[in-house]
Structure 1
Amino acid sequence: MLTPDQARDRAADIVARARAAGADAADAVFAADSSLDVSVRLGALEDVGRSESEELGLRVFVGQRSASVSTSDLSSDAVAALVERAVAMAREAPEDRWAGLAPADRLMHGAPPLLDLDDRGEAEPAELKALALEAEEAARAVAGVSNSEGAGASASRSVWALATSHGFAGAYAATAYGLSASVLAGDVASGMERDYWHHAARHRSHLESAAEIGRRAGERAVARLNPGRIASGPMPVVFDPRVGASLLGHLTGAIAGQAITRRTSFLLDALGTQVFAAGVSVHDDPHRPHGLRSRPFDGEGLPVSPVALVEAGMLETWLLDSGSARQLGLEPTGHAARGVGGGPGVSPSNLYMAAGAVPVETLIGDIVRGVYVTELIGQGVNPVTGDYSRGAAGFLIDNGAIAGPVAEFTVAGNLKDMFLQLTPASDLEFRYGTNVPTLRIDGMTVAGG
């Protein structure tokens, strides 16, 4: 695989070619990836997969017209043809008054932050197989586990580079390791339940142990056996951190620049107003060492820095690339995100809700009747109105304590109201790209089966 410097030079070269072919401005992305995945089931190897890819994406501007092209054929002739085609396409494209590169005076210069995303390690299939087997064995050893959907281990390394025609060129490499297990508990006669556990890390040494991942998967599956039903009505709903993180996805979708410019957000006029309870803060931290979504610069070459999206319940900022920022008369926020094809959108990096002040036991201690949600099903969320309705499974909360499992119910509300009624517990852990503590939301509607 190319080094970051070589990847940066590849991206810069195609930008120079585009300018020579008649583009007024251009930017290019080069992405390379190699990965190895191993899966096992019932103690036997099930699959081994290895993939390697290199892709190049080019965006060109002719006046206020633009076009984007991409290719995995990196031969000199193919790249030359790609450049010519992109410039010809841009000349025929409709004008977009908001299109263009990021402001030149905002580009990142100097040394990037040290994020330590690449441990420079290499994994062999035998190593990953051993990890997967250990995880599955630990899961199947949990009393009550009756079958396995398998376990998997993976390792990858990627290089990502961006160059622009107005002065930016940068690249970085990152490794990633993953381990998961999924098992079934119970039997056909009395009913079977499935659950899983997983972990991912930039450094192999930071990956959670296979025994722990397997044990958690097995215990979660067994805990779901023989679920009951819950009577319908309004009640507090408590979200396990694994599923509660999805609520921040709805937040970032609603404050993305494109949603605001298109007027398709339930938080359309909410900037500078209270959208959560006063004790809630939401942060985005692209500089976290080893972070799963850390990055030294954004998808347009702008510097990135930690920022509070919500502070003490108040919405502090939109997420803006340069195009949506121009349309709104604002400045880009360093949240532009690029794939190889197309122009930039926006995305947070390491997103998290700050821990609250109370432990989980206290958070649920005064709930006479409620539900603790460990699984969400379906996509019943309207991003324009904020209406929220999703299938769920989890556990009954009875007189302040977690009771037996319940399934086949729906939790519903409106995200505006849900955010204002949300209380975070003190148990925040940084396990995923988006992290939240246990969350309590009062006044939701639960519809039982």
Structure 2
Amino acid sequence: MPRDNAPQLADVTQALIEAARAAGADAADAVAREGTSVSIDVRGGTLEHAERADGAEAGLRVFIGQRQACVSGSDIRPEALRLMAERAVAMAREAPEDRWIGLADPAQLSARRDAEGLEGFDPTPEPEPAQLQEDAARAEAAALAVKGVTQVSGASAGYGASDTVIAASNGFMGRYRRSSRSVSCVAIAGTGAGMERDYDGDGRVFQSDLRDAAEIGRTAGERAVERLGASAPKTGAYPVLFDERVAATLIGHLCGAVNGAAVARGSSFLSDRLGELVLSESLTLTEDPLRPRGFASRPFDAEGLPTQRRDIVKDGVLTGWTLDLATARKLGMAPTGNAGRGLSSPPSPTNWNIALTQGEQSREDLLKQMGTGLLVTSLIGSTINPNTGDFSRGAAGFWIENGEIVKPVNECTIAGNLRDMLRRITPANDARPWRGTVVPSLLVEGMTLAGN
């Protein structure tokens, strides 16, 4: 992709807004994005699939009174932008009224208009396809070298970069750039009905931070072999330790429940818990959109409001909801700078860079503490009641006795209620700090297991 697309993308957003006003819109905002993505898949040491995408696209939202409409397109020629604006205005005239929508007041807008200091874009040259293929091949070879691995179902490497400009008729215009580099591997051990699979992977903003491809492949292979001979565990009530690889899903359910959109439509099991304990008093859940090299870092949100570090849960107490402008107005609260949006959809509340307090104990310490129970390394499917918090998911992992792993397990279901589960979690100290959701392994006492 071009190294600096800001002038062209800024022209696109301004042209869209001007065309929308000329077509009869009262107000408008626009997003223009140009990017590159490259992915390489290897199987059997040879190239299996290669894909590259380069292009620019734009999205427009228009307002006519309290009606809105969104359109998007990949043709950014002036005549195409004009037609896009006219189509959006025609759609808005037929849309239902929504008294909560509207652009930010100019006084609410972020003074920061770029992402300087956030290190969201790696300035080193884009990797050649041959380098990506080599990474994928090294991961596959390392997995196959693990005794017991019979095949690798996929080894991949990828790169992506994008340049985004957001503008609105209230005077806002801001820009940020993002990049990513990744390697992943899925290994299979055993044969026939006894086959087991597992994976490993890594994704970073900066290529220099990426873990070695051979290490990733070897770990995937070792994890698959460890799963050989898995069987269903006992049915009963046991402690469950969610491995760091899957523990973020629990906190994801919490984030979903404090999302203002869920609260506003009455589908949150935490809607009556504002200002009350939802986690242990020793735990704080922090959102930090300004964390350097964070995958979800950004200087402003999709509505041009400033982003800022905040504690969603402080010392166990739920402090507030995650809000965009419309949801904040609906709930009678101040927005939190959490608007995210796609090119063809209006903003909605979105979280950036979540981190939970880490514990003082290692995962091994928590295994010893739990005595007998289940270590979950994989979750399958999901049955979550957003209104009550009832939780039920298929799981696989390892059975623990006397604080030690004794056998792999699969074909079981773990169940509980998220209100109770969240209050009982004990964190380990093994969270990976570069992830978008930084959550360590989590021990939850007294869950129900359905096995054999």
TM superposition score normalised by structure 2: 0.96
**Corresponding position of 2:214:** 211
Distance across 1 between alignment mates of 2:369 and 2:426: 13
**Corresponding position of 1:143:** 147
Q: 2:314 aligns with which of 311, 314, 321?
A: 311
**Corresponding position of 2:134:** 130
SS of corresponding position for 1:245: helix
**Corresponding position of 2:386:** 383
Task: Kindly state the Cα deviation for residue 356 of structure 1 after the two structures are TM-superposed.
Answer: 1.2
2:24 is aligned with what amino acid?
A: G
Q: 1:83 aligns with which of 68, 82, 85?
A: 85
Deviation per residue, 1:231-279 (Å, 9 max, x gap): 1111100001111111121111111111111111111111111001112
SS of corresponding position for 1:69: strand
Conserved in 2, the CA contact under 8 Å of 1:283 and 1:307?
A: yes
- Work out whether 1:194 is the aligned partner of 2:197: yes
SS of corresponding position for 2:392: strand
**Corresponding position of 2:174:** 170
Q: 2:267 aligns with which of 238, 246, 264?
A: 264
Deviation per residue, 1:121-147 (Å, 9 max, x gap): 211111100111111111111111111
1:94 is aligned with what amino acid?
A: P
Q: 2:226 aligns with which of 210, 223, 227?
A: 223
1:247 is aligned with what amino acid?
A: L
Q: 2:362 aligns with which of 355, 359, 362?
A: 359
Conserved in 1, the CA contact under 8 Å of 2:104 and 2:170?
A: no
Conserved in 2, the CA contact under 8 Å of 1:103 and 1:322?
A: no
1:82 is aligned with what amino acid?
A: M
SS of corresponding position for 1:143: coil
SS of corresponding position for 1:66: strand
Distance across 2 between alignment mates of 1:375 and 1:221: 12
Task: Kindly state the Cα deviation for residue 407 of structure 1 after the two structures are TM-superposed.
Answer: 0.8
Deviation per residue, 1:275-319 (Å, 9 max, x gap): 011122111111111111111111111111111111111111100
**Corresponding position of 2:49:** 47
**Corresponding position of 1:321:** 324
Distance across 2 between alignment mates of 1:246 and 1:74: 39
Consecutive unaligned residues in structure 2, runs of 5 or more: none
Task: Kindly state the Cα deviation for residue 65 of structure 1 after the two structures are TM-superposed.
Answer: 1.3
| Range with bigger deviation, 83-92 or 31-40 | 83-92
**Corresponding position of 1:403:** 406
2:144 is aligned with what amino acid?
A: R
Distance across 1 between alignment mates of 2:12 and 2:71: 15
- Work out whether 1:64 is the aligned partner of 2:66: yes
- After TM superposition, list the pairs within 5 Å mapping 1:339-354 onto structure 2: 339-354=342-357
Conserved in 2, the CA contact under 8 Å of 1:200 and 1:431?
A: no
2:105 is aligned with what amino acid?
A: P
**Corresponding position of 1:300:** 303
Pairwise CA RMSD of aligned residues? Answer: 1.4
| Range with bigger deviation, 422-431 or 213-222 | 422-431
1:418 is aligned with what amino acid?
A: M
Q: How many residues align?
A: 448
Task: Kindly state the Cα deviation for residue 43 of structure 1 after the two structures are TM-superposed.
Answer: 1.2
Distance across 1 between alignment mates of 2:7 and 2:446: 54
2:360 is aligned with what amino acid?
A: A
Conserved in 1, the CA contact under 8 Å of 2:15 and 2:78?
A: no
| Range with bigger deviation, 351-360 or 390-399 | 351-360
**Corresponding position of 2:16:** 14
2:182 is aligned with what amino acid?
A: G
* Identity rate, percent: 48
Q: 2:339 aligns with which of 336, 339, 348?
A: 336
Task: Kindly state the Cα deviation for residue 431 of structure 1 after the two structures are TM-superposed.
Answer: 4.3
Distance across 2 between alignment mates of 1:55 and 1:34: 12
2:169 is aligned with what amino acid?
A: S
Distance across 2 between alignment mates of 1:348 and 1:110: 19
Distance across 2 between alignment mates of 1:43 and 1:35: 22
1:274 is aligned with what amino acid?
A: L
Conserved in 2, the CA contact under 8 Å of 1:280 and 1:423?
A: no
Task: Kindly state the Cα deviation for residue 213 of structure 1 after the two structures are TM-superposed.
Answer: 0.5
**Corresponding position of 1:252:** 255
